[in-house]
Amino acid sequence: MALNIEGTIEGSSQLIGGDFTTAGEASTLLKVKLTELGVAEDIIRRAAIATFEAEMNVVIYAAAGWLHYYISPQGIRIRIEDMGPGIADIGLAMQEGYSTAPDWVREMGWGAGMGLPNMKRNSDVFTIDSVVGEGTTVEMVINFP
């Protein structure tokens, strides 16, 4: 597979808390960019899932956030920073099935406690930092084969 990447290609999207109508747009932009660059389909799929889940978390829990991506010949790095309530117990939040989402969000089929585990599963490197009352930053790296 010939990758058409020189240096680092960067992009950013602003994420708005509570805006379910635009959720998925940032991951779509990343998907389009990766497709343009000739990245393998399974890598694109992993990046898209991880990014979409991260976007949803900002939409569901935070007031606002940013998504930044950096694509290099080695892989993709995605960083999501939000101004949200923060996560008190990250270990608990990472557990499949654990969620603090309100009922109306669960009725939409979100908030099943699968978001963070999905993000981790689709990343080669996954880090999460959170300060209660300030916000959460997630960084995910997906390496090219």
- Residues of this chain that interact with other proteins (CB under 8 A) are 20-21, 23-24, 27-28, 31, 45, 48-49, 52-53, 56, 108-110, 112, 114-115, 118, 121
Residue 103, token pair as written in the block: 């009922």
**Contact call for residues 78 and 140 (beta carbons, < 8 A):** yes
Q: At what angle do helices 25-36 and 41-61 cross, to 10 degrees?
A: 160
Identify which of residues 49 and 72 has a Cβ nearer to other proteins in the complex.
Answer: 49
Q: Closest approach of Cβ 94 to other proteins, in Å?
A: 14
Q: Please count the CA atoms within 13 angstroms of the CA of 85 that sit on its side-chain side.
A: 10
Q: Closest approach of Cβ 7 to other proteins, in Å?
A: 28
Q: How many residues does the chain have?
A: 145
Helices (H), 21-114: 25-36, 41-61, 90-93, 103-107
Identify which of residues 7 and 140 has a Cβ nearer to other proteins in the complex.
Answer: 140
Report how far Cα 122 is from the mean position of its chain's Cα atoms: 10
Identify which of residues 35 and 74 has a Cβ nearer to other proteins in the complex.
Answer: 35
Identify which of residues 28 and 72 has a Cβ nearer to other proteins in the complex.
Answer: 28
Q: Closest approach of Cβ 33 to other proteins, in Å?
A: 14
Q: Closest approach of Cβ 102 to other proteins, in Å?
A: 15
CA distance 95 to 24: 24
Q: Across-strand partners of 10?
A: 70
Identify which of residues 20 and 125 has a Cβ nearer to other proteins in the complex.
Answer: 20
Q: Closest approach of Cβ 20 to other proteins, in Å?
A: 6
